[in-house]
Amino acid sequence: MSVAELAGQVAGKLTETVRSVEVMRRAGLVPFPRLDEGLRSLVAIRKYGPFAGANHIAARRDSTAVGIVDDLGPLTFKQLDDQSNALARAWSQRGLGPGSVIAALCRDHRGLVLTMAASGKLGARLLLMNTGFAKPQFADVAKREGVTALVYDQEFTGLLDAIDDSAGTVDRYLAWVDEPGGHEIPVLAEIIASTDDRPLPAPAKPGGFVLLTSGTTGTPKGAPRPHTSALASAQFLDRIPLRSGEATFMGAPLFHGTGLSQFILSFALGCTVVMRRKFDPEATLKGVAAHRCTALVLVPTMLQRIVDLPKEVRDRYDTSCLRIIFVAGSALSPDLGNRANEEFGDVVHNLYGSTEVAVATVATPEDWKRAPGTVGRAPVGCRVALYDERGNKITEPHVTGRVFVGSGLSFGGYTDGRNKEIIDGLLSSGDVGHFDEDGLLFIDGRDDEMIVSGGENVFPIEVENLLVEREDVLEAAVIGVEDPDFGERLKAFVVRAEGSTLDEDGVREYVKANLARYKVPRDVEFLDELPRNATGKVLRTKLS
């Protein structure tokens, strides 16, 4: 590398850092002119990790501010800080600490939040498990990740016998009980109430956490985050106007990157986070109205259920406080995004990323209005590029290529040692997409979902988006099935709206009238609902 190239890289990095700090200042994360508070925040996150660090910062800023509101009511940041001290101390006395792996199999409630914070204070690694696990997935992940302790909700007790713990080396703790009293397994609330809540000495280093991939094609892989840069928060705040001291309704689960990222940010900003153990569309609108939430965090299927509520139900709740509907986790169709903006105003922010690459791009309401279906542009600190199959960079608009992302939040490889493909320092997202002439990114599909029918390439998302534009179609999924003449042919699975008379010929004729002939599904099957995982992704392996 030449001196000029090195100087250019340094200058670019400095400019990016300055921009990141300005984004954080605008949001309220860098409290100008009290820069000493900003430094304390950085130190806290470095010492305890993002969960405990953000909670500690918020408690110090205002000890009376409400941190979360869950099914049991409110808890202040100070109460959360003290209770997580007690839990960390109790676990330390039981032998947990640096090197331990604490797995949480919990819905969204205070027990999960306290587990997240206490793990950070111990320097233990936190493993966030999917509440939609079947026994084989649960057992495989627990074994692979070397789980030391398991924190779980009582409803998931039936999964626990899948773990081979004949040596009794996995400690078990109940985070949520449906039937109080008389439990052989220690209950978090009882442990906390009986333990000193003075803070423990800070660990030598944070234990970090592990997010799991969606596992739509097999056992989820572990994507560790051993440490998190405070500056990386600018990647969200650059294009999503979260502000300090407000309130966020958390619809997306915390075990998923969508919910987790916005939970950490909201805590760091001193925002109240409203959460419920189980998602309900009307209860969500009621919670937004009651707590005057300015941000609502969802995966697309949750947004679909909200806009599908009868108008008289939606009109019961004043949601004019909403400035942001943050949507991520799977593709947001143009039809659904448009319907949401019509209902709530221009507030939809569509984030594209993955468990591995974290943030890639964000579409603001202005981007969406210009080009419905876009995932927007890369925020500060992120880079996105497209490459062809030979690894050549694609720069022309409307040319589909493989999506690669560079981000300070990208992971460094799976826990089993494998990694995604890397080109020019950028990590493969596993998707294909294209830019338009304005530089807005569109995702055309997963690179492993492309269907080759009669020599023509088809990505299911184009056909799916077209079908759901119909008022009599609620959901649609398209896959490729074997065909002796064409190699593969398209098969569509359609969920009709109540009262719909749409039949197979109607589906085929509609697609034929709007897309190329080779994109018309030859097979059509009607279902009551599509199989999805806990974060709303369609389980295509269950369609045939």
Please spell the DSSP secondary structure of 382-398, one letter per residue: EEEEEE-TTSPEE-STT
Q: Which residues on neighbouring strands pair with residue 74, listed in sequence order?
A: 69
> According to the model, what pLDDT value does residue 231 have?
58
As a whole number of angstroms, the distance between CA 355 and CA 248 comes to 22
pLDDT digits (tens, 9 = 90+) for 465-480: 999 999 999 999 999 9
For the chain, the first-to-last Cα distance in angstroms comes to: 52
- Give the pLDDT confidence of 132-151 residue by residue, as tens digits: 888 888 989 999 999 999 99
Comparing 412 with 183, the larger pLDDT belongs to 183
Angle between helix 77-93 and helix 110-122 axes, rounded to 10 deg: 60
- Reported as a single tens digit per residue, the pLDDT across 149-205 is 999 999 999 999 888 776 568 999 999 999 877 788 999 999 999 999 999 999 988
* pTM more than 0.85: yes
Non-local (6+) Cβ contacts of 299 within 8 A are 251, 252, 256, 258, 327, 328, 329, 330, 535, 536
Helices (H), 28-105: 35-61, 77-93
300, 336 Cβ separation under 8 angstroms = yes
Nearest to 323 by CA among 231, 243, 431: 243
Domains of the chain: 1-31+229-380 (3.40.50.12780), 77-227 (3.40.50.12780), 451-542 (3.30.300.30)
pLDDT at 24 over 80: no
How far apart CA 402 and CA 429 sit, in angstroms, is 8
Q: Which residue did the predictor score with more confidence, 13 or 145?
A: 145
| Dist. CA 86–CA 184, nearest whole Å | 20
Question: 234 is written with which tokens?
Answer: 């600018």
Share of the chain above pLDDT 70, in %: 89
H or E stretch at 17? helix 3-27
- Using CA atoms, how far apart are residues 52 and 418, in angstroms rounded to an integer? 29
Pinpoint the alpha helices (H) of 194-348: 234-237, 257-268, 281-291, 300-307, 311-314, 334-344
